[in-house]
Amino acid sequence: MMQERNKLSEKAPIRKSGTKIDIVPSEKLKLSKERQEYLNSMLLEGAFNGNNACYGTVAEMRRFIREGADIAAKAKNEKNRTPLHHAALNGHNQICTLLIKEYAKRGGDIKELIIAKDDEGWTPLHRTAWNGHSETCALLIHEYAKAGGDAKKLIASTDNNNQTALYWAASNDNPKTCALILYEYIKAGGDIKELIIAKNDEGKTAQDWASQKQCTQTKKFLRSMGWLADITENAFIKPFGECISGGV
């Protein structure tokens, strides 16, 4: 891999104007197919592995982007997942932030990047919720809303089996992540009962999944939430604030 890096290490064109250096937008670069595939693969690999010196630091990934890596590139051999899918799966918040900011700099639609689905219908939010990365969930939801998106739409987005991020958080016994998702849904003006009672293609709710997989803490949490007929943002924080802050 190091030999391949050295072989394909030519720099992207840079315009110098006085003391200011302007990086040529990646979409204007004329890259060979081999070079484009290499840069995309390195960005995908780095996003998955995180700020790891062996696989690419954040600084290196910033360079790959500068040299023309496609931030929205899909890994065809990995169910068409983007670098953001990979970074979100493993809770790499710095990398998620880098990808989102650099995509915006290049005129990309942040909302499309964050709500993009892989071949299974998973968004980056589904991926990170499944692994219980609450902070990454919050980051994605907040960035989506900041870009003008409806956070309720992102949170309620379903995969190919009609399952939301709440399902996947529940399936791995992540009550903190479930709490965060419900909390953000309330903040966005949503009715959490819609998420709690929503059924997948097998007719199961998130609580059913938690029960089936013996996720005791999550089952208890979702059942207690289901008992509340009406709930507000402030009412939610008091009994379940410890979930959001990491107390569970």
Q: What is the pLDDT of residues 120-143, one digit of tens each?
A: 999 999 999 999 999 999 999 999
Please state the φ and ψ torsions of residue 152, each to the nearest 5 degrees: -60, -40
Q: What is the pLDDT of residue 207?
A: 86
- HEC string for 40-74: HHHHHHHHHHCCECCCECHHHHHHHHHCCCCCCCC
125 CB neighbour count, 10 Å cutoff:
26
| pLDDT top residue among 239 and 137 | 137
Lowest mean pLDDT, pick from 26-40, 74-88, 131-145: 26-40
Portion of the chain with pLDDT greater than 90, in percent: 57
Q: Does residue 203 carry a pLDDT above 60? A: yes
Determine which helix (DSSP H) or strand (DSSP E) holds 23, and give its type and residue range.
Answer: strand 20-23
Q: Does residue 37 carry a pLDDT above 90? A: yes
Distance between CA 91 and CA 88 in Å, rounded? 5
**Amino acid of residue 163:** Q
147 CB neighbour count, 10 Å cutoff:
15
The overall average pLDDT reported for the chain is 81
pLDDT tens digit string along 144-156?
999 999 999 999 9
Closest Cα partner for 114 from 78, 67, 68, 150?
150
pLDDT band (50, 70, 90) for residue 56: low
Lowest mean pLDDT, pick from 24-38, 107-121, 229-243: 229-243
pLDDT tens digit string along 5-24?
444 344 444 333 343 334 44
Indicate the length of the chain as a whole number: 248
Q: What is the pLDDT of residue 54?
A: 60
Q: What is the dihedral of CA 106, 111, 112, 116, to 10 degrees?
A: 130
Distance between CA 59 and CA 6 in Å, rounded? 17
**Amino acid of residue 204:** K
145 in helix, strand or coil?
helix
Q: What is the pLDDT of residue 231?
A: 47
Across the range 157-181, mean pLDDT stands at: 94
Query: Domains, the chain, ranges and CATH?
Result: 1-136 (1.25.40.20), 161-248 (1.25.40)
Distance between CA 75 and CA 48 in Å, rounded? 12
Q: What is the pLDDT of residue 216?
A: 79
Residue labelled with tokens 């992207």: 12
Q: What is the pLDDT of residue 60?
A: 87
| pLDDT top residue among 155 and 54 | 155
Q: Residue 176 in contact with residue 183, Cβ under 8 Å?
A: no
Distance between CA 221 and CA 182 in Å, rounded? 11
